[in-house]
Structure 1
């Protein structure tokens, strides 16, 4: 049974909240959506209080009119379950469903996602309203997809109440079966933490010193699974009523969100969707868009949907900057380049009241006489011109290892350095690949690595035995593996791998480290290749590997800093420090040359080149982030899709603009 999205071409739209406006505004919405080229909107995301004004009493009349209106105007509906924002009456009746923070404070309702994920009362009420929706709208002609909940874990990833504690204990019993196994996994002989009864185990609430690291890690795993079980429960109700209608929920693969293990979540979605918002403080946010898009495409195993991003400023950062000229278009088409088969915004019409009144929208407060509106209309035309790109894939020869367990473990307290940030370390390695136009997939440690020539593990502090064996076997079979510092150090239980660092990878890398020398903020060490390192250093001893560069200053002067080891039919590289950007780029150029990895296309600096491959043609996306016009060579017989014009042996990409070129397949 296939559950594909029944919307032609690249879907285009956003969150539509007509309940926030007088009904006479709706007709104008339909007219302007047609002008903008909108084909699908998400509706009903935060409407629980209107649909169920009191427990068991329903009023679907407004939603009936909204869906009928959309269908009459040829606009598809991504119909949401409204369970991210329970109504006030629910919390008055069930105050114990409110979440409790790690300091023991029970939070109040009055915003969104103010519920305990383990609350039986919440689950019962949520599934009840979902069931009513499913039965009523399963066959409505406007409904092409179910939008389950909204941004799971955005505000309530953790709840430390007694109900959550009970659910956590049940999860632990299922994972470990016995207290002896749990005590061993958690290393509870340390600090007299041994448990003799399951009821003694609590969530990692505020305590006087550093909590047990494995306790904290299992808590993160539990919290992700608790929310996943809510998604699965809602999805199953919807699937029973409408077996052929796909279900999704919007992930948040972006810099500052790490609450959920999306490798576990992705297989449960019919269509993977993502929300992505720029960080105003990031001077090159286009790199974050690319990294996020590649990661979401990898989670999806192919095309995906961008469920939310912004036309301009958001409202939740310390300073919320507007987008520069052309940035709205470049951002959206960059997501398409990385595999998005749908582009949507929060939201259609900018709110005049409420917590997000200063969040940009497709139709801004200024109305149609605005640059944002003109850009929105232009983007709609662009996406219509790119309809044939839908369904095409992105071939890659490089895989970057990404693991949420490793991220959670690395950023626990009491590391050798509190300056370690998983996503910063991954972006360090991703950025030079992006600049060079190299296609990248992201993979789990235990993924099938046979499609790749080069596998990079910039930060894999925690890795289980299966993942470690998989990565080292890749090199043994002839692949090129590169590993970043402080990787392979602990097992799945967060126990240090004894015998010397870097633990699980020591043999494959042909080195042994006996002591770590993290660097203070601002401190650097010089390297023999002329570069420098920051953040970290190690006393590395060669045990079969060769030194590519060494430390020349500090207590480790003369000690290898970057190494290469012939391992089986392949090779394994190790970086024991954080090289400066130019040095790291040079090293990765050398590593990928050894692996035989080439760029998608040679392009001038500032021009992002991305390839999507369809069954009959290649689609080359060229996004000029620079201030100078650029020219990029293309294959004979190419056509630029945004203009519909044939091009010669090259295509011009003006500063700040985008070209999408259809080419015959290259061998």
Structure 2
């Protein structure tokens, strides 16, 4: 695949010069140079400007933009503009308009309002992408292609209904097989012809607009989620293929959105030359959640560096409380992205727009229009540091011996499930385990089901509800060959079609885990139980609280490490360990408190020789990246107070300040340190 050619971490963001007169361009470039900005994303929502009517294309304005950028040493992330179709297109070809979950057909407005299965949308979007590639394939400003923007927006129209049937026939081949995997004998849902199948929305299988995941047939809704993700991916791939024909050496991407539920990003990443994503934490988002999403984006392409395509330099415009980033936080969050694998630092936006819903979204250049602002001065400082940092961290790999499994189909299926608890949220359970390791300063990769497990000492798979035969075989091989595997309650329940594994939970993982789960109790938030340690083991001792779901399990060879502390299943196993082949598999039968997870995972890591990178408080984050045999320890203080840090993996020079840091040091409020480790 094509790679982004760069000599330093690219620095810039979204730019809309077509909205401003030429004298403003001159002022913008002057300020870009002050801030060492060297890349600009252009043309993101420019479809109607590119194509004012069906017969006419107007590229002269973009010629001027790209020439201007190139003449000033600024490269372009050139967007295809297809995230918002023109009004004339909606008027002339209404098949392009989406039908939403409630069954309402939209009119022209907002963005992401196109049906992904509209022949009109697919024809015109691919045609525009190809014309852009033909015109700009040799332009010196072109650095990367940016297809559409933040794909999303499910559709339930007749186009989608028709294509869903085609997709199903390709997947299941016969109507009898479809009826089998959807268990349609329930409620008399048996289909006799393909054209009887309709999309599952509020008019068919779904029961509540307020609870959109409440569906009568989980298998149907699960397949529609797969289909809709594939449908949008097909639109992306049409543009990708049109561009690739003309620019085989220019990387192509589209900006993802972290844990965006509707799209299976592991599948999307297979068709992206480089992953890019938009990071917009709330004012109160814990840093570990941001770190998790960065690691997920890196994990989409098996540890490859990614692009931070968007973040705000100051504030966002759509949240209930659009608070400012405090001085130092923008810099800190930018380096957090770099610490987890970003090879670009980019903003939305470079200049604030004058009108519409994003006019109060933060920008490098504020409405006042000059460089004498706090935000611009911080941006310029960071630009200077990134120039100084040069190529040292480009394409550096993160070193991790622990992998946490994340899977979109599993996410969809867990939350389509008709029970056992409305409080069960897949991302929450996964990030609980991530947070425990993050707090212990242990490096983690977020991985998919297709990742090679053998590179990890420990693989953690919380709430692994879907376990196919292939999944089970992979886990069995990993543990048998010496891996440590941790999974939890509500795992091994169903196959890939959401059909329950008969014969007892956790289905095909029973032999690996050495347990059988008989029942699952669900209690409201004000009720809880205890995990009482019954086998002194490592750092686990005493008792801990557990919540929400409670498996009643029986051991079939597994060793009991802890039992429940109360209720009628008091004394029954809640934490087990099973030796399988050369490895070990653990089962956590309830949702434990944070203290348990830290003690438990610290113990497992210690047994495996997986060490913390630093000794510091929870406010401090650390990662380690390696390039050409040289390791870099990155330390970030997310607190407004100084924090004492003691590196545990070595000492070295801070490449940002030239200061040697050996032994303990004090990290300043919102401070960032990049230690080039000795003898690495």
TM-score for both structures, normalised by structure 1: 0.96
Aligned 8 A contact 1:604 1:632 in 2? no
Q: Which segment is superposed worse, 549-558 or 450-459?
A: 549-558
What is the CA–CA distance in structure 2 between the aligned matches of 1:637 and 1:161, rounded to whole Å?
60
Mapped partners of 1:478, 1:633: distance in 2:
30
Taking the aligned partners of 1:58 and 1:353, their CA distance within structure 2 comes to 26
State the shift of 1:22 in Å: 2.0
Q: Tell me if 1:566 matches 2:579.
A: yes
Correspondent of 1:304 among 299, 303, 306: 306
2:525 and 2:365 mapped to 1: Cα distance?
45
Other-structure match for 1:315: 317
Task: After superposition, give the CA deviation of every residue in 1:168-199 in whole Å (9 maximum; x if it has no partner).
Answer: 11111111111111111111111111111110
| Pairwise CA distance, 1:656 | 1.6
CA deviations over 1:593-642 (Å, ceiling 9, x no partner): 22222123333442211111010421111101232242434777722111
Q: Within 2, Cα distance between the matches of 1:634 and 1:175?
A: 51
Match of 1:421 among 422, 425, 439: 425
**1:122-271 alignment runs, 5 A limit:** 122-153=121-152, 156=153, 158-206=154-202, 207=204, 209=207, 210-254=215-259, 257-271=260-274
**Partner of 2:379 in structure 1?**
376
Q: Which moved more, 1:144-153 or 1:648-657?
A: 648-657
**Equivalent pair of 2:2/2:251 in contact (CA under 8 Å):** yes
Deviations 1:460-519 (A, max 9, x none): 111211112211221111111110110111100101111222223222111111111012
Task: Say whether the 8 Å CA contact 1:603–1:609 is kept in structure 2.
Answer: no
Displacement of 1:355:
1.8
State the SS of the aligned residue for 1:288: helix
How far is the alpha carbon of 1:223 from its aligned partner?
A: 0.4
CA contact (8 A) 1:519 1:534 kept: yes
SS in 1 for 2:143: strand
Query: Can you give the 5+ residue segments of structure 1 that lack an aligned partner in the other structure?
Result: none
Instruction: Map 1:44-193 onto structure 2 (within 5 A).
Output: 44-153=43-152, 156=153, 158-193=154-189
TM-score between both structures, scaled by the size of structure 2 = 0.94
1:444 aligns with 2:448: yes
Q: Which moved more, 1:474-483 or 1:521-530?
A: 521-530
Change (3 A) 1:146 1:384: same
Q: What's the counterpart of residue 644 of structure 2?
A: 630
| Equivalent pair of 1:487/1:502 in contact (CA under 8 Å) | yes
What are the Cα deviations for residues 135-173 of structure 1, in whole angstroms up to 9, with x where unaligned? 1111111011111111111xx1x1100011001111111
8 Å Cα contact 1:527/1:549 also seen in 2: yes
Residues 637, 647 of structure 1: 8 Å contact kept:
yes
Q: Distance between the aligned counterparts of 2:471 and 2:629, measured in 1?
A: 36
Once residues 663 and 460 of structure 1 are traced to their aligned partners in structure 2, the CA distance between those partners, rounded to angstroms, is 38
2:291 maps to: 290
Secondary structure in 2 aligned to 1:561?
strand
Q: SS at 1:224's partner residue?
A: helix
Q: How much has 1:647 moved relative to structure 2? A: 4.0
In the alignment, the residues of structure 2 paired with residue 235 and residue 142 of structure 1 have an alpha-carbon distance, to the nearest angstrom, of: 19
Which residue, out of 622, 646, 671, partners 1:657? 671
3-state SS, counterpart of residue 526 of structure 1 = strand
Q: 1:412 is matched with which residue: 405, 416, 429?
A: 416
CA distance in 1, matches of 2:161, 2:649: 61
1:485 to 489, 493, 497: 489
Task: Show the counterpart of 2:388.
Answer: 385
Separation in 1, partners of 2:195, 2:284? 45
Q: CA–CA distance in 2 between the matches of 1:413 and 1:398?
A: 29
- C-alpha change, 1:381 and 1:73, in structure 2 (3 Å) is same
Q: CA RMSD in A?
A: 1.6
**Alpha-carbon distance between aligned partners in 2 of 1:422 and 1:221, rounded to the nearest angstrom:** 17
Contact kept in structure 2, 1:425 and 1:458, CA below 8 Å: yes
1:172 is paired with a residue whose SS is helix
Q: Is the 8 A contact 2:620 2:643 kept in 1?
A: no
Contact 1:306 1:343 (8 Å CA) reproduced? yes
Distance (whole Å) between structure 1 residues aligned to residue 339 and residue 309 of structure 2: 16
2:211 corresponds to: none
CA displacement at 1:409 relative to structure 2: 0.1
- Please name the residue that 2:590 is paired with: 577
CA-CA distance at 1:378 after TM superposition = 1.2
| Mapped partners of 1:122, 1:287: distance in 2 | 39
Does the CA contact (< 8 Å) of 1:396 and 1:440 recur in 2? yes
**Partner residue in 2 for 1:28:** 27
Per-residue deviation, 1:652: 4.0
CA distance in 1 between counterparts of 2:358 and 2:177 reads 47
The one-character-per-residue Cα deviations of 1:532-566 (angstroms, maximum 9, x if unpaired) are 11111111111111221111112221111111111
Give a deviation string over 1:307-358, Cα, whole Å, max 9, x none: 1111122122222222123111111100000000011111111112112112
Q: 1:665 to 1:235 in 2, by over 3 A?
A: farther
Structure 1 residue matching 2:108: 3-state secondary structure: coil
Map 1:428-439 → 2, pairs under 5 A: 428-439=432-443
Find the aligned partners of 2:643 and 2:524 in 1 and give their Cα distance: 42
Following superposition, the deviation at residue 203 of structure 1 comes to 0.6
- For the residue of structure 2 that corresponds to 1:357, the secondary structure is coil
Q: Which contiguous aligned blocks of 4+ residues in structure 1 show a shift greater than 6 angstroms?
A: 634-637
Q: Unpaired segments of 5 or more residues in structure 2? A: 208-214, 533-541
**Residues 287-309 of structure 1: per-residue CA shift (max 9 Å, x gap):** 11210111111112211111111
Give the Cα–Cα distance (whole angstroms) in 2 for the partners of residues 509 and 647 of structure 1. 45
